[in-house]
Amino acid sequence: MERLQVVILCGLFVTATLMLYKSDSIGSFVQHSKQQYTHASAADSSRKTISSVDAMKEVQSSGDRDELLKQIQAEATKRNIAPVDARLDRVWKAIPGYNGLEVDVEKSLALNEQLLFRNQLRLAMREVEPAVQLEHLGSHPVYKGNPMKPMVSLMINVAWGNEYLPKMLKVLDDEQVHATFFFDGSWLKQNIPTAQLIKEKGHELSNHAYSHKDMSKLTRTQATAEITKTEQLLKEQLGVTNHLFAPPSGDFNQATVDIARELKLTTILWTLDTVDWQKPQPSSIVRKVAARVEPGALILMHPTYSSSEALQEIIRTIKRKKMKLGTVSELISTKRIDEVESITQ
């Protein structure tokens, strides 16, 4: 009897299960499960396909980058310019160095990778300083800049000649040129407003000793005083931190150069002298400059009638020769300058 009851109960359970399976709710549940499985399988397959495409793109991108890198490195080999070390010359003494130029490969690569269309290779350049700098040469005067640098500097020594300064300053303004003015300290003490005006116009102010004495004839103490008194005026009255010293009349000895170096000043002489204090015709000064000026030249002049009248044509002559005009500090620095376009007038 008990066995019969168990059989009847099992039969009822199977019948109930079959009826539930055939109902709408259970059918929907089963159908939904099948769909979820199908979608999951499709998504997995899609992910595999996308991963494959991404991998192919990465390989292609890596290949493009390698090719781009090769192109940049090839250009670097052609375009790189080695720096020029500062050196000592038997005649011209200390010659400043000149920066080299090279392709910055990493920056160039990044620059070109950012471009949507690379019809032309873009290159990022950087300057390379020489291993030997001017200060490494020791205690020597400078007569000229590096001949590889297409720049010329006007050095104007001022101990007198106030009446010609306004015209010279106007010409410099008109031609957009900055010069270096070396001030005699005794003149500077009496003419601070004029010196301030020269500074405001963007010119470089430097040291020409104090009382225009021959430096080679002075004791070490006297020579030091000549330089430091003017240096004090430049700093305290004009707020100038100076790095240059031009000995009066170009007279000096080794002690003069040593003292200047101890005071952190570079002794500056000249490449080309206008000899304007002898009152030559302005046209003769222009002809002299035209015949002898060269890259790196330091041109000496004073605020005289001859130089004030010749100045504009001197500047234009230099520009026609495709050389830039800058201060003495700019000239003797290792920094490169761009090519200069010649003027036609």
Helix (H) or strand (E) holding 39: helix 24-79
- What confidence score (pLDDT) does residue 36 get? 55
Domain layout of the chain by residue ranges: 35-140, 144-332
Residues 230 and 213 sit within 8 Å (Cβ to Cβ) = no
Q: Which residues of the chain fall below pLDDT 50?
A: 1, 4, 6-8, 10, 12-30, 32-33, 37, 40, 42-43, 45-46, 48-60, 341-345
**DSSP symbol at 338:** P
Distance CA 7, CA 2 (A): 9
Helix (H, G, I), strand (E, B) or coil at 245: strand
Q: If 0-12 CB within 10 Å is exposed, 13-18 middle and 19+ buried, where does residue 78 land?
A: exposed
| pTM greater than 0.85 (yes/no) | no
Distance CA 191, CA 162 (A): 9
| Closest C-alpha among 288, 254, 252 to residue 271 | 288
Q: How far is CA 18 from CA 8, 190, 336, in A?
A: 16, 120, 93
- What confidence score (pLDDT) does residue 48 get? 44
- What confidence score (pLDDT) does residue 64 get? 83
Residues 187 and 336 sit within 8 Å (Cβ to Cβ) = no
- What confidence score (pLDDT) does residue 114 get? 83
Distance CA 132, CA 96 (A): 9
Residues 118 and 108 sit within 8 Å (Cβ to Cβ) = no
Please state which of the four CATH numbers 3.50.50.60, 3.10.520.10, 3.20.20.370, 2.30.30.830 is assigned to the domain occupying 144-332.
3.20.20.370
